[in-house]
């Protein structure tokens, strides 16, 4: 008895062609890698319809820029250790202690330039101590930097006695944070400058390739001769310096500081870095351009919701949902890359 193969009743040919065409269209539009830009554009259209009188103004652009500049600096600070496979949970606390320190030093009679320089040095020292704990002692970066953030928060409280710190500082220092350049707040240009340098280092230099290699496979990096400990140590020092810079910019922007000013920046910055890892390159690696897209996207969404009359807790809700989504998308991108 012979068995003959009958043709199937459903011909998959046209369906496969349609799916293939759809996939090609998705790839061509870059919906995965550039989804943040598309969502940002949709948010602009949405809020332009909901609150056209207040959203479609030059002051909105300046406000979003001013609000996102410090977050951008913190997120950029995080990129370097994250690229190396480390988490620096102390970066927001470094921002907080730096914002307090730079004002306190000026209140004690030091010039703005010296106060800024000493604050940056303090950020480097804190980063170096983090590096010592992680690289030399062998403590997990999550635990070491979490502990450091608590220590720094206590230090900021000791300096301010729990009160808001308002110091008489030179007008030149305040201008650093409150002035404008080419129609945009000066802090925006600081973030752009740092992003340009960091982009060059991570994308165009051997040091950048080493960072991503270590973050991808630390043992393989050791075997090929990369000085893993040195690179990881340097990444935490860099994070400390950039975190201190963010604190200086914030202090100049506000003209004041307090002991609890830093922690609010940790969640938005991490959300931006992890969400940015799914953008532009789309390979799950932290990168500068993707991070900047994520920062602007989150800042636009939060500011638009505030203009639309959303309750005050919406910022935390928005950033929390963004972080969960960012981690999910980053894990998916990493699995696809593997």
What is the residue-wise DSSP string for 81-137? Answer: HHHTT---TTHHHHHHHHHHHHHHHHHTT--HHHHHHHHHHHHHHHHHHHHIIIIII
The count of other CB atoms within 10 Å of the CB of residue 243 is 32
9 part of a folded domain = no
**Alpha-carbon span 110 to 270, nearest angstrom:** 34
What is the residue-wise DSSP string for 216-238? Answer: H-HHHHHHTT--HHHHHHHHHHH
Radius of gyration of the chain (CA): 23
Between the alpha carbon of residue 13 and those of residues 4, 18, 151, 254, the distances in Å are 22, 9, 64, 63
Q: In the chain, how many domains are there?
A: 1
23 part of a folded domain = no
**Alpha-carbon span 16 to 127, nearest angstrom:** 54
The count of other CB atoms within 10 Å of the CB of residue 86 is 25
**Alpha-carbon span 284 to 162, nearest angstrom:** 40
191 part of a folded domain = yes
15 part of a folded domain = no
Cβ atoms 310, 294 nearer than 8 A: no
User: Which one, of 238, 247, 232, 321, lies nearest residue 92 by Cα?
Assistant: 247
Question: Tens digit of pLDDT for each residue in 291-304?
Answer: 999 899 888 888 88
Cβ atoms 273, 254 nearer than 8 A: no
Residue labelled with tokens 């995080």: 78
**What residues pair up with 165 in beta bridges, in sequence order?**
257
pLDDT of residue 32: 61
pLDDT band at 334 (very low <50, low <70, confident <90, very high): low
Residue range of the domain that includes 153:
34-337
Question: Tens digit of pLDDT for each residue in 167-191?
Answer: 777 778 888 888 878 888 899 999 9
12 part of a folded domain = no
261 part of a folded domain = yes
pLDDT of residue 248: 95
Is the pLDDT at 16 greater than 50? The verdict is no
Cβ atoms 202, 276 nearer than 8 A: no
Cβ atoms 72, 130 nearer than 8 A: no
Q: Which two tokens stand for residue 332?
A: 């998916």
- Over residues 85-90, mean pLDDT: 94
The 3-state secondary structure of 155-180, one letter per residue: HHHHHHCCCCECCCCCHHHHHHHHCE
pLDDT band at 331 (very low <50, low <70, confident <90, very high): low
Residue labelled with tokens 């409150």: 178
**What residues pair up with 180 in beta bridges, in sequence order?**
185
28 part of a folded domain = no
Pairing state between β 180-181 and 184-185: antiparallel
Task: Give the CATH number, domain containing residue 328.
Answer: 1.10.3470
Q: Which two tokens stand for residue 144?
A: 């070491």
pLDDT band at 12 (very low <50, low <70, confident <90, very high): very low
Q: Which residue has the higher pLDDT, 280 or 91?
A: 91
20 part of a folded domain = no
**What residues pair up with 185 in beta bridges, in sequence order?**
180
Question: Tens digit of pLDDT for each residue in 219-251?
Answer: 999 999 999 999 999 999 999 999 999 999 999
């Amino acid at each position: 008895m012979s068995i003959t193969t009958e043709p199937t009743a459903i011909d998959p040919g046209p369906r496969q062609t349609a799916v293939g065409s759809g996939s090609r269209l998705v790839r061509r539009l870059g919906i995965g890698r550039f989804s943040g830009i598309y969502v940002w554009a949709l948010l602009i259209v949405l809020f332009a319809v909901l609150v056209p009188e207040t959203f479609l103004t030059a002051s909105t652009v300046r406000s979003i820029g001013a609000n996102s500049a410090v977050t951008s600096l913190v997120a950029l600070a995080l990129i370097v250790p994250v690229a190396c496979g480390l988490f620096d949970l102390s970066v927001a606390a470094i921002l907080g202690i730096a914002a307090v320190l730079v004002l306190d030093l000026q209140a004690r009679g030091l010039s703005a330039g010296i106060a800024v320089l000493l604050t940056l040095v303090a950020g480097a020292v804190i980063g170096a101590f983090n590096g010592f704990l992680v690289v030399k002692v062998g403590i997990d970066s999550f635990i070491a930097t979490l502990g450091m953030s608590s220590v720094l928060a206590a230090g900021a409280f000791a300096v301010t006695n729990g009160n808001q710190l308002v110091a008489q500082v030179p007008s030149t220092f305040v201008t650093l944070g409150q002035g404008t350049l080419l129609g945009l707040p000066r802090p925006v240009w600081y973030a752009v400058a740092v992003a340009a340098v960091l982009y060059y280092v991570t994308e165009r230099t051997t040091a950048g390739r080493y960072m991503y290699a270590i973050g991808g496979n630390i043992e393989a990096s050791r075997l090929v001769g990369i000085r893993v400990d040195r690179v990881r140590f340097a990444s935490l020092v860099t994070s400390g310096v950039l975190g201190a810079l963010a604190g200086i910019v914030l202090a100049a922007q506000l003209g004041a500081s307090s002991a609890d000013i830093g922690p609010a920046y940790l969640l938005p910055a991490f959300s931006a870095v992890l969400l940015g890892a799914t953008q532009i390159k789309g390979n799950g690696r932290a990168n500068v351009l993707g991070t900047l897209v994520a920062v602007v996207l989150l800042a636009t969404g939060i500011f638009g919701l505030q203009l639309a009359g959303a309750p005050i807790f919406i910022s935390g809700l928005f950033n929390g949902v963004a972080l969960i989504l960012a981690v999910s998308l980053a894990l998916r991108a990493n699995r696809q890359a593997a």
